[in-house]
Amino acid sequence: MSIEETEQEIIEEFEMFDDWMQKYEHLIDLGRSLPLIDEKNKTEDKLIKGCQAQVWLQSELKNGSVFYTADSDAIITKGMVALMVRVLSGHTPEEIINAKLDFVEKIGLIKHLSPTRSNGLVSMIKQMKLDAVAYKQFKV
Amino acid sequence: MTELKTISKIGIDIEKIRADFPILSRKVNGRSLIYFDNGATSQKPQAVIDALNNYYVHDNANIHRGVHTLSQEITVAYENSRAVIQKHLNADHSHEIIFTKGTTDSINLTASSFGKKFISKGDEIIISVMEHHSNILPWQVVCEEKGAILKVIPINDAGELMMDEYKKLLSNKTKIVAVAHISNTLGTINPIKEIIEAAHALNIPVLIDGAQAVPHIKVDMQALDCDFYCFSGHKLFGPTGVGILYGKEKWLNEMPPYQTGGGTIKTVTFEKTEYADLPLKFEAGTPDISGGIGLAAAIDYINKIGLDNIAAYEHKLLLHAAGELEKIEGLKIIGTAKEKASVISFIVDGLHPFDIGTILDQFGIAVRTGHHCTQPLAERYCIKGTVRASFAFYNTKHEIDEFITALKKTITMLK
């Protein structure tokens, strides 16, 4: 499934909800279902410091594709993290670099990407892309 | 509504007051806005909005320079604002009122300028563990520059300063004491009169960060006898971008200018500059003229309601909110000092404050979450941060009840 196809799948998934409460409950469920990052990777160098919610991100290149695991101490941020991992993980560095991620606006959660320093999500997306750039450039 | 009427017996006509604040009638996420983030900034009454609007529509000119009518009129209006603030603070002189950008700017000015003149290697500066970063960092910078040492007054578990420890920290090495009047995170009202008296017994000046105090209680510079008092306009129902440094004349006269430039001088040659007298020595460049005028309008507004009425009304809100919050299982209030302003911080077992704040926002409720720019305090309590509800006199018991209902739903969703 391409990045755009996964984004479309998420958009349709969120269209089923009538109100914000169901949407957030789903996001919280997604957060709970995110496979936990290996504790050995929950280190200071993997920590993306937000002002409030902290996010850990780990990536690796396998057969030309980048795979991410991530975690957050805030459950709503973790739900957003789960969406990002679902969309980007398993794709080539080129595809990840070019991903527009405009599904976030379409599912009505764009405020989570506002530059308020309140969570580490914007920094995490930047780091996901930077990791992809590094894999592409250095063929790690 | 019955309860509102009961509360209004102490002199607050809540419905009339709420009508003065246009923003309170807006919707957020489809709900009526419940604004409990007054500790971060307050909303503005129509009187302040009108003062700002009128300035730009009718009065705009630069101050202290022009011979033309507009400039003279606005100079008089701006200096009248200074006089309103002087009277409100009961300061000895209007030239002891320095217009700044806000509390942070006022503290930076004092730390930098006082530090240059009076602080040397090995000297000590006393602050407290509950200080806002804005009353820590400027002093840290002075300490690094001068080789001085920062001493920190500890607190007890209730969030009260340990006064015995404070008195032990005072010595002939202490050059200044800088503490908050009211903690922005805990709501604790510190015994600043006692703090000032103890320091003055050793001829040590005291700076009070009054950012969280002036919206809630009356402050009197002569009665307190403090040396510096700082606050922001925007937390006092006035505009953003303007604040006040009150400083005793004897200190301000001794201190060098903080920033230099237009407006601060008597004469300039390339060899030497003679600086202007107070307050202009500390007011480089064109100030926030509309801000100064708007701040005076805000002070006039709150004085019509009366700070004693405001304090009594807010205390009732505080007691009601604390009583309801305490009933919620797993919720813990951080900061239980005997003397408290209408600020409540709390945590809920197993839940991140960020998540609670995010869901409350969906209910149209604005609270603050995080460490509130008091990271050392969060460390003291071994917590990541708190949810903070801070009330103003335009808030109501009904809003608190709505908040409690929404909070209970939020906790159920997140658990």
Q: Which pLDDT tens digit goes with each residue over B20-74?
A: 999 999 999 999 999 999 999 999 999 999 999 999 999 999 998 789 999 999 9
Smallest CA–CA distance, residue B415 to chain A, in Å, is 10
Arithmetic mean of pLDDT, B174-194: 98
Looking at B275, B303, B331, the residue that finishes a domain is: B303
If interface means Cβ-Cβ distance under 8 Å, which residues of chain B face chain A? Answer: 29, 352-355, 358-359, 362, 369-371, 384-385, 413-414
pLDDT on residue B5? 44
Active-site hit among A51, A110, A130, A140: A51
The domain limits of chain A are 3-138
Q: Determine whether the interchain pair B369/A53 forms a contact, defined as Cβ–Cβ distance below 8 Å.
A: no
In a domain? residue B41: no
Cβ separation B359–A119 shorter than 8 A: no
- Checking if the pLDDT of B253 tops 80, the result is yes
In a domain, B62, yes or no: yes
Q: How far is A119 from chain B (nearest CA, A)?
A: 8
Is B44 part of any domain? Answer: no
For residue B308, the model assigns a pLDDT of 95
Residues above pLDDT 90, as percent of chain B = 94
Supply the CATH number for residue B102's domain: 3.40.640.10
Please tell me the predicted confidence (pLDDT) of residue A122: 85
Is the same domain home to B249 and B341? no
Whether B297 and B310 share a structural domain: no
Domain end: B303, B336, B363, which one?
B303
pTM above 0.90, yes or no: yes
Q: Given pLDDT bands bounded at 50, 70 and 90, which one contains residue B1?
A: very low
B37 within a domain of the structure (yes/no): no
The Cα of B354 is separated from the nearest Cα of chain A by a number of Å equal to 7
- CATH code for the domain of B6: 3.90.1150.10
Q: Are residues B231 and B313 in the same domain?
A: no
- Residue B246 shares a structural domain with residue B101: yes
Q: How many domains would you assign to chain B?
A: 2
Q: Domain boundary residue among B303, B320, B348? A: B303
Helices B353-362 and A20-33, interaxial angle, to 10°?
Answer: 160
Closest chain B CA to residue A76: B355
Are B137 and B281 within one domain?
A: yes
B231 & B173 share domain: yes
Give the nearest chain A residue to B410 (CA atoms).
Answer: A21
Residues B291 and B314 in one domain: no
- Do B203 and B288 belong together in one domain? yes
The answer to whether the Cβ–Cβ distance between B355 and A52 falls below 8 Å is no
Long-range contacts of B327-333 (CB under 8 A, 24+ apart): B328/B404, B328/B407, B328/B408, B328/B411, B330/B411, B331/B411
Higher pLDDT, B105 or A114: B105
- Residue B239 shares a structural domain with residue B384: no
> d(Cα A118, Cα A50) in Å, to the nearest integer?
6
User: Which of these is catalytic: B143, B226, B230, B373?
Assistant: B373
Q: Give contacts of B358 with chain A, Cβ < 8 Å.
A: 24, 76
Task: Classify residue B370 as left (phi > 0), alpha (psi -120 to 50) or beta.
Answer: left
In this structure, is residue B39 part of a structural domain? no
Pick from A20, A51, A76: which is nearest to B355 by CB? A76
Under 8 Å between Cβ of B213 and B233: no
* Structural fold of domain A3-138: Sufe protein. Chain: A (3.90.1010)
| Residue B54 located in a structural domain | yes
Q: Is the pLDDT of residue B367 over 60?
A: yes
pLDDT given for residue B6 in this prediction: 45
Q: Which residues of A touch B413 (CB under 8 A)?
A: 21, 24-25, 28
* Residue A15 touches chain B, beta carbons under 8 Å: no
> Active site includes B373?
yes
Q: Are residues B86 and B9 in the same domain?
A: no
Both B277 and B351 in one domain: the answer is no
User: Does the beta-carbon distance from A28 to B414 stay under 8 Å?
Assistant: yes
Parent domain of B400: 2-32+306-414
Residue B275 CA to residue B268 CA, distance in Å, equals: 8
Put simply, whether A76 touches B (Cβ < 8 Å) is yes
The minimum CA-CA distance between A37 and chain B, rounded to whole Å, is 19
Q: Is residue B250 located within the same domain as residue B388?
A: no
Q: Is residue B111 part of a domain?
A: yes
A68: tokens are 């991410």
